[in-house]
């Protein structure tokens, strides 16, 4: 089926929000993030600060996804990496901001506390939580009654799992978000999430009952993380992860191209969208984890297909910049191309805009955890271009570009959704150290009231990576 725009906010909405912030002088967070947040109401370095074990980038991290048999009566052992433990070694060659490990952890934890206080809502049933994606006027779904989207739920579940060790309520929050997800299954699969919920806690009756791939992928990955933190209890996170991964493979991966689709609604009856994809969904670190969890080499082909497409698009459309468009079409041909205007969301569907701003984060994270050479190659071009285009000043990063590097009309500087991901891409090479430090300094200086749900959520998750607290199961 063809659908209307699914972007969480329009350019006009963001511009209006930015203008109101400037007019009101909201240049810093007026809350005190260091204050502890109030308790919540009720299908199948060891980085720059210390030694880092050398590890072949092609070697999977600590876990192979299988669960070894336990002796009779033995309890499963938690083998996750709590926030601040730094037990997961980043790949050789990865750099982190020059601030001390303690400073990076503190900044990340403080921003998480402020983000949680602002966006985590307890509602829609006993012990349920959701992420309020429309709270600050940034949009998030369709219509004025929207309250959340599956993307935001995926971000929230990732944050809760990754902040275990800092937040004593992490498991309670994760479970509440999980229950909300399970309360809102996609109309096409019980193990994927309907992408948009509205006031009254139901799915959006106007085109909101099927799934969006980004939310599906992050929810699955978050469940895998949870299975390593909390291996026993009322929710079998490992079993639930396998169900969601199976549904993703069936409904969100094109069996011919091995590329992720736009959601479980994109099928062969709609060829234009069935053979379209969104680069911000190229979560290759997730795909690797899914392969380990399911012990299936099918996910290796998925990883390869995405890196092949990245190389093709950069070679054909953005040799000088490395930029990828929000959407790619004709992926079943030898000549995939940037999507036409209004392919799915608007006039910038073929440009580097509010979707592809996340690409440097997603591909950069794969290099961080796996040392993937193809990720580094793709990001090297992107890093070189953005540093030159901005004169090594991250404050000059615009909110949108043509693939040739020309800023799009009426672009906004300093949108966190565009700035923060470049911090993760900078981590791929030591030559980017000063650039990475400048990005880190800029985003740390911005409080939770200086941006909206989308920018703040991307900031939080990229800070987790940059601080040395991301890990792969």
Nearest to 406 by CA among 353, 331, 460: 353
The CATH number assigned to the domain holding 117 equals 1.50.10.10
Does 22 map to a domain?
Answer: no
Does 88 map to a domain?
Answer: no
Going by their DSSP bridges, the two strands 337-338 and 328-329 should be labelled as antiparallel
Domain count for the chain? 1
Q: Are 407 and 423 in contact (CB under 8 A)?
A: no
Neighbours of 337 (CB within 10 A): 16
Select which of 45, 151, 218, 398 is catalytic. Answer: 151
Q: Helices 284-294 and 298-317: crossing angle, nearest 10°?
A: 170
pLDDT at 144: 87
In whole angstroms, give the CA distance from residue 414 to residue 453.
Answer: 15
In whole angstroms, give the CA distance from residue 292 to residue 447.
Answer: 37
pLDDT at 411: 65
Does 361 map to a domain?
Answer: yes
Secondary structure (3-state) at 121: strand
Question: Domain residues for 175?
Answer: 30-66+98-466
Secondary structure (3-state) at 358: helix
Secondary structure (3-state) at 149: strand
Does 18 map to a domain?
Answer: no
Burial of 425 (0-12, 13-18, 19+ CB in 10 A): buried
pLDDT tens, the chain, 473 aa long: 334 344 444 434 444 444 444 334 343 333 333 333 333 333 443 333 333 333 333 333 333 333 343 344 445 788 999 999 999 999 999 999 999 999 999 999 999 999 999 999 999 999 999 999 998 877 678 888 999 999 999 999 999 999 999 999 999 999 999 999 999 999 999 999 999 999 999 999 988 999 999 999 999 999 999 999 999 999 999 999 999 999 999 999 999 999 999 999 999 999 999 999 999 999 999 999 999 999 999 999 999 999 999 999 999 999 999 999 999 999 999 999 999 999 999 999 999 999 999 999 999 999 999 999 999 999 999 999 999 999 999 999 999 999 999 999 776 778 999 999 999 999 999 999 999 999 999 999 999 999 999 999 999 999 999 999 999 99
Considering all CA atoms of the chain, what is the largest pairwise distance in Å, rounded to the nearest integer? 65
Angle at 324 between CA 318 and CA 306, to 5 degrees: 110
Select which of 164, 207, 210, 214 is catalytic. Answer: 214
In whole angstroms, give the CA distance from residue 473 to residue 363.
Answer: 17
Q: Are 144 and 206 in contact (CB under 8 A)?
A: no
Does 314 map to a domain?
Answer: yes
Contacts of 288 (CB under 8 A, 6+ apart): 60, 299, 303, 366, 369, 370, 472
Does 347 map to a domain?
Answer: yes
Does 75 map to a domain?
Answer: no
Does 2 map to a domain?
Answer: no
151 is catalytic: yes
């Amino acid at each position: 089926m063809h659908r209307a725009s699914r972007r969480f906010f329009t350019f006009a909405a963001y511009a209006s929000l930015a203008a109101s912030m400037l007019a009101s002088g909201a240049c810093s967070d007026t809350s005190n993030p260091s204050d502890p947040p109030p308790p919540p109401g009720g299908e199948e370095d060891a980085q720059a600060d210390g030694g880092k074990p050398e590890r072949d980038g092609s070697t999977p991290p600590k876990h192979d996804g299988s669960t070894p048999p336990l002796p009779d009566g033995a309890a499963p052992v938690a083998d996750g990496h709590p926030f601040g433990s730094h037990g997961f070694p980043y790949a050789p060659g990865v750099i982190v901001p020059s601030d001390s490990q303690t400073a990076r952890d503190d900044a990340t934890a403080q921003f998480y506390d402020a983000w949680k206080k602002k966006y985590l809502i307890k509602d829609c049933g006993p012990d349920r939580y959701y992420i309020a994606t429309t709270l600050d006027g940034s949009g998030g779904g369709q219509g004025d009654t929207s309250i959340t989207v599956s993307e935001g739920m995926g971000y929230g579940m990732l944050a809760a799992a990754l902040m275990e060790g800092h937040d004593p309520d992490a498991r309670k929050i994760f479970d509440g978000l999980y229950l909300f997800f399970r309360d809102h299954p996609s109309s096409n699969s019980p193990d994927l999430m309907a992408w948009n919920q509205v006031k009254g806690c139901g799915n959006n009756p106007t085109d909101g009952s099927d799934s969006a791939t980004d939310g599906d992928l992050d929810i699955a990955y978050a469940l895998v993380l949870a299975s390593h933190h909390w291996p026993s209890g009322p929710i079998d996170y490992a079993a639930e992860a396998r169900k969601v991964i199976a549904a993703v493979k069936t409904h969100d991966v094109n069996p011919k191209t091995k590329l992720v689709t736009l959601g479980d609604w994109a099928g062969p009856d709609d060829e234009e969208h069935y053979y379209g994809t969104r680069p911000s969904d190229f979560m290759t670190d997730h795909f690797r984890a899914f392969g380990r969890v399911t012990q299936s080499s099918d996910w290796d082909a998925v990883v390869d297909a995405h890196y092949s497409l990245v190389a093709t698009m950069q070679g054909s459309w953005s040799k000088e910049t490395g930029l990828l468009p929000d959407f790619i079409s004709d992926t079943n041909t030898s000549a995939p191309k940037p999507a036409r205007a209004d392919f799915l969301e608007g006039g910038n569907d073929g440009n580097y805009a509010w979707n592809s701003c996340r690409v440097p984060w997603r591909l950069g994270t794969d290099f961080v955890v796996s040392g993937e050479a193809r990720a580094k190659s793709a990001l090297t071009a992107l890093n070189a271009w953005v540093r030159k285009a901005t004169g090594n000043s991250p404050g000059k990063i615009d909110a949108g570009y043509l693939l040739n590097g020309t800023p799009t009309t009426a672009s906004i500087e300093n949108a966190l959704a565009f700035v923060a991901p470049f911090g993760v891409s900078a981590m791929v090479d030591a030559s980017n150290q000063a650039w990475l430090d400048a990005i880190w300094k800029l985003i740390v200086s911005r409080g939770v009231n200086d941006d909206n749900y989308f920018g703040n959520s991307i900031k939080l998750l990229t800070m987790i990576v940059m601080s040395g607290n991301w890990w792969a199961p």
